Amino acid sequence: MKIGTRKFGEIQIDENKILSMPEGLPGFPGFEKFVMLEDPKTAPFCWFQSVEAPNLALVIMDPKIFKPDYTIDLEKIIQDLGWGGIKKKDILVYVVVNILEREEDRQITANLMGPLVINSKNNQAVQVVISESDYPCQYDILEPEKSE
């Protein structure tokens, strides 16, 4: 299947890799189909690309890369989503990253309060909001002490 993308132009994707977000993506109603795109040139960053809208693409990454002690209650999330029988190893967790470049500096923040949780067995994804957490929605990856 061919899709248009903001970063890579028109590309061919495997339809079996399309992630369904039945609840949609907060802030982007009506968009429920996404695909994760990886590019060695931008690693460890990935792209969470809408299949339905070429200009809708979020930068995401594994939070363990910059915050090894990052944890969320996967058991509760799995239960709340009705993903019974799924193993933790089949769940992927990513966070949305914002990159702000100004003339004098660059700031890269990650939303630790709203991780993307992906069930690799049924290709469903959801962005959960962890309200009872001390994690910020703008964790400074380059200067973590500012976020603590």
Cβ–Cβ under 8 Å, residues 33 and 50: yes
Peptide bond preceding 144: is omega within 30 degrees of 0, i.e. cis?
Answer: no
The pTM is what? 0.91
Residue by residue, DSSP assigns the chain as -EEEETTTEEEE--GGGPEE-TT-BTTBTT--EEEEEE-TTTTT-EEEEESS-TT-EEEEE-GGGT-TT----HHHHHHHTT-TT--GGGEEEEEEEEEEE-SS-EEEEE-SSS-EEEETTTTEEEE----SSS--SSEESS-GGGT-
- The tens digit of pLDDT for each residue in 67-113 reads 999 999 998 888 888 888 888 889 999 999 998 887 778 889 999 99
Total domain count, the chain: 1
Per-residue pLDDT, 148: 64
Q: For residue 53, give the CATH number of its domain.
A: 2.30.290.10
**Which residue is associated with the tokens 């004098």?**
104
Which pLDDT band holds residue 145 (cuts at 50, 70, 90)? confident
Q: Which domain holds residue 6?
A: 2-146
Cβ–Cβ under 8 Å, residues 141 and 97: yes
Cβ–Cβ under 8 Å, residues 37 and 47: yes
Which pLDDT band holds residue 147 (cuts at 50, 70, 90)? low
